[in-house]
Amino acid sequence: MSDTAATSAPRTARERARAELTREILDTARAHLEAEGAAGLSLRAVARDLGMVSSSVYRYFPSRDDLLTRLIIDAYNGLGDAVDAREASLARGDLLGRWMAVANGCRDWALAHPQEWALIYGSPVPGYAAPDATIGPGTRVSVTLIEILADGFTQGMTPEDVAVPRKVTRGMKRLREFVPPIVPDSHLVAGLMARTQLLGHISLELDGQYNNTIDDLDAFFDHIMRRTAGTLGLV
């Protein structure tokens, strides 16, 4: 055995052990999210459940905010992976199918991970400010929707063409950095409205706002999302 192999094996073992303990910390933290919500997340409580001293957990996540950031990034990426897996399997010209894939991918993931959905789309956590590291993962679903919007425009989709006030146009200047210039402001606003409809509907459903009013939530969601697709000119 070479000296290089002899010295690299223990380092690899340590890396694997660190990755396993990191996973255990994150899994325990997610259980706390489910029981207490993000505002109640505590590194000390997580360490106690793992049978560790707090200082050991701090080596992996120096603060509660660091742990929250990792949970947020993982949640965004979990959602993004679920949506991308569905949307990528469809033909690029199937705009309605791609929109419905995104919609159903978001809803199915949210129903399976309600606390993580609440973490990324619910009320802000008091005292926490998300760092720039969350921006990329946090925009994955929106980027996919923008791609559908841009493809739809090139294929002649015709959402309602309503004049956009100059103040609104100026207010979307930063957003414009991520949107192909071929997409007019009226289409961009329609896309933002559709995104709000999608995310808002899912959040309301998770909060139980349709309980005792809508008997078939699957059929209702499908109908609402197809009507929303109509406003984008995808039908």
Per-residue model confidence as pLDDT tens digits over 60-88: 999 999 999 999 999 999 999 999 999 99
The architecture CATH gives domain 1-62? Orthogonal Bundle (1.10)
**Cβ contacts of 26 within 8 Å, gap of 6 or more:** 67, 70, 71, 74
CATH (residue range 75-231)? 1.10.357.10
Sequence ranges of the chain with CATH classification 1.10.357.10: 75-231
Per-residue model confidence as pLDDT tens digits over 149-190: 889 888 887 777 778 999 999 999 989 988 888 888 988 898
User: What is the Cα–Cα distance from 190 to 145, expressed in whole angstroms?
Assistant: 11
The pLDDT of residue 6: 46
The pLDDT of residue 3: 47
Length of the chain measured in residues: 235
Extract the tokens encoding 56.
């050991």
Pick the closest to residue 191 from 147, 146, 227, 139 (CA basis).
146
The pLDDT of residue 5: 46
- The confidence band for 2, taking pLDDT boundaries of 50, 70 and 90, is very low
| 111 pLDDT more than 90 | yes
| 140 pLDDT more than 90 | yes
The pLDDT of residue 235: 79
| 1 pLDDT more than 60 | no
The pLDDT of residue 10: 54
Of 5-19, 42-56, 102-116, the poorest mean pLDDT is in: 5-19
| 97 pLDDT more than 90 | yes
User: What is the Cα–Cα distance from 195 to 19, expressed in whole angstroms?
Assistant: 35
Between 188 and 4, name the one with better pLDDT: 188
User: What is the Cα–Cα distance from 3 to 79, expressed in whole angstroms?
Assistant: 44
Q: Which CB contacts under 8 angstroms, 24+ apart, belong to 152-156?
A: 152/95, 152/187, 152/232, 152/233, 152/234, 153/182, 153/183, 153/184, 153/187, 154/182, 155/93, 155/95
Mean pLDDT of 124-131: 92
The pLDDT of residue 15: 84
The pLDDT of residue 158: 75
| 22 pLDDT more than 90 | yes
CA 8 to chain centre: 37
Per-residue model confidence as pLDDT tens digits over 179-225: 888 888 988 898 999 999 999 999 999 999 999 999 999 999 999 99
In DSSP notation, 22-45 reads: HHHHHHHHHHHHHHH-GGG--HHH
Element (H, E) at 221: helix 217-231
Sequence ranges of the chain with CATH classification 1.10.10: 1-62
